[in-house]
Structure 1
Amino acid sequence: MRFRLPAGKDAAMNVIAFVTQKGGTGKSSLAVSLAVAAEERGIKTSIIDLDPQGTAKNWYERREAEGGPEVNALQAGQLEAAMGLLKKQGVQLVIIDTPGVDTPAATAAIQVANLCLIPARPSIADIEAARPTVRSIARLDKPFSYVLNQCPPGRSIRTSDAFRVLQLSGAVASTPLAMRADHMDALATGQGVTERDTNSKAAAEVRELLQWALTKMEGKPHGQETRVA
């Protein structure tokens, strides 16, 4: 079933925040590719870059394609006002990229989010490093899910084991994303993976993750997940 957010400035605006206190998990590449995939489905989308490294902002400056999501680099104190402005502009989906450390920016993003996504590689180090983030999200009573990212391509015991662990410890998106060169190449050229190669496996995985996230924000069951007690 296809899903499209309602249009218009009075319609609800959904916000996805990519948060984790672990660098190198692919937050920025997922954020921009998810936003591009949403725009391709007719969902007016905006990216907010709260990370001082400016990975999403730099991606946008390299971008040559017409249309697609805009990127605004903001400070934590500007976020609340930006939400109101974007809604007035008819934005339907906001995707926030945050620093890989515990900062006021990450807390601000969690506070405005409808859904927090925690990218994690299928390793015990990434899962353990995400625990402080989960505690911060729990304190603010926000929905969240892990997203297994940069997994070995194909069937992998490492990915399967990590998925089972995350099912027990929290919520996990039903679509793991494999380590594929398309993600790095798209980020380098100002594209989303669905633009770089529309029929690639990377593109299919990002589209599946988008559908999962949209369905979850609607409160409908989709895929395998559990909630933290």
Structure 2
Amino acid sequence: MPVVVSFVGQKGGVGKSTLARAFAAIAARGKLKVKLADLDVNQQTSVRWARTRSARGNGYPVEAEAYTTFEDVLANIKGFDLIIVDTPGHASPVTLEIARSSQVVILPTGASTDDLYPTVLLLYELEQMGIPKERLVVALCRLLEQREEHAARKYIETAGYEALVGSIPERSGYRSAHNLGQSITETSDQTLNRRARTLMESLLEKVMSQLQGSNTFQKREGNGSVA
């Protein structure tokens, strides 16, 4: 069975697709057979990005496909090492189903209370529904300044949950990279790439910590560097 890593949240525009695409690109570079499952069939952000990436010949290609239901995703996992689930911009009963099938669940969030409060609420709801807390982790995205990261991290940790090391700032360079089918670790600005790699390395470590018994990842661990 492949490893399932999902990106979920209570609202859109907080970085789910951004992080899902970056993690898929890293996994592909690490020689994993990865499927990026886009559950937002109306927008298909990840699917369109993957098509652009393939057409422009950017780095390692990522296989992305839109799905109407999570059951459809699970019916098409044969032959893959890793399934990355990019969910729609809202939580629903399906969110719990996805979380139950995931080894790691990432909740991207901005730094405002409008973003942080529903993120913590969803974390609490998932935990109350039986998702182990160690599978849940927050990623701080779309930040404008360093002090926002400190305040947001304190908010998450005070609530009793984990936030990945690092953060993704709000920068036009990331948007430009996406327009070209690149990920946030593949921009033309090495400073932005380093910022993104810090968070991606933390995410990779989180996934690895949950998969110590997985032969798939143990065999490929040496290939999974964030570059």
Superposition TM-score, scaled by structure 2 size? 0.78
Aligned residue pair count = 203
Question: Is it true that 1:28 corresponds to 2:20 in the alignment?
Answer: no
Query: Per-residue displacement from partner, 1:91-127 (whole Å, max 9, x unpaired)?
Result: 1111111111123443332231111101011222111
- C-alpha distance 203-184 of structure 1, shift in aligned 2 (>3 A): same
| Residue of structure 2 aligned with 1:73, choices 63, 66, 72 | 66
Which one-letter code corresponds to 1:192 in the other structure? S
Q: Percent identity?
A: 23
CA RMSD in angstroms comes to 2.4
- C-alpha distance 174-73 of structure 1, shift in aligned 2 (>3 A): same
Query: Paired residue for 2:218?
Result: none
Runs of 4+ off more than 6 Å:
none
Question: Is it true that 1:93 corresponds to 2:82 in the alignment?
Answer: yes
Query: Paired residue for 2:173?
Result: 182
Which one-letter code corresponds to 1:114 in the other structure? Q
Q: Residues of 2 paired with 1:129 and 1:85: CA distance?
A: 31
Query: Paired residue for 1:3?
Result: none
Q: Residues of 2 paired with 1:166 and 1:131: CA distance?
A: 7
Query: Per-residue displacement from partner, 1:190-227 (whole Å, max 9, x unpaired)?
Result: 2223334484324423542442333332369xxxxxxx
Q: Residues of 1 paired with 2:130 and 2:64: CA distance?
A: 26
Structure 1 gaps of 5+ residues are 1-11, 221-229
- C-alpha distance 23-85 of structure 1, shift in aligned 2 (>3 A): closer
Deviation at 1:48, TM superposition (A): 0.5
Q: Residues of 1 paired with 2:151 and 2:32: CA distance?
A: 35
Superposition TM-score, scaled by structure 1 size? 0.78
Structure 2 gaps of 5+ residues are 214-227
Deviation at 1:147, TM superposition (A): 0.7
